[in-house]
Homo-oligomer: A and B are copies of this chain.
């Protein structure tokens, strides 16, 4: 399938070593199987997979070092399930939004992407603000309700409500909508 869609995976490479990190880890574990399946579907459909991940204060574009370092934290079980491979894009971000201080927008233009599927943590911070920056730049958005997690479930739902209302995003579960369905609908 040829498409102009990409999948963003936000901040899954995460030490979780901060206040509230245990809650976030528990909620993230719940979504990992669905995220893994989504990533697998993306790869089978030749939809580019782009990790967009906090730089954890390293400020250097040495991704391999970052992953090794972050794995020492309590987020290790999530990282092991969603570890990036070298044929996937990996972009470090210095702040909340994946578009602020990164080459993400330029990469997406080069790949001729017009539609973004966004999965990640935390739903009420980095996913929300990346989605907003994507919306302002004109991307169509699908932020599946079952592939983002926050420290508190109520906050994740609130954020999804804003994403749906304010950014006119699709938030259908990946259990009801496949990437193939999404791309077909957008093309109409």
Q: Which residues of A contact B (CB under 8 A)?
A: 55, 59-65, 86, 89-97, 100-107, 109-110, 122, 124-125, 128-129, 132-133, 135-136, 138, 155, 158-159, 161-162, 165-166
Contact = CB atoms under 8 A, between A and B. Distances in A.
Contact of A61 (B86, B91, B105, B133): B91
Contacts of A122: 166
Contacts of A61: 61-63, 90-92
A55 to B, nearest CB: 7
A124 B162 contact: yes
A136 B100 contact: yes
Contact of A101 (B64, B90, B102): B102
B128 A95 contact: no
B62 A86 contact: yes
12 contacts: A55-B103, A59-B110, A60-B90, A61-B91, A62-B63, A63-B63, A92-B103, A96-B135, A102-B103, A124-B165, A128-B162, A158-B162
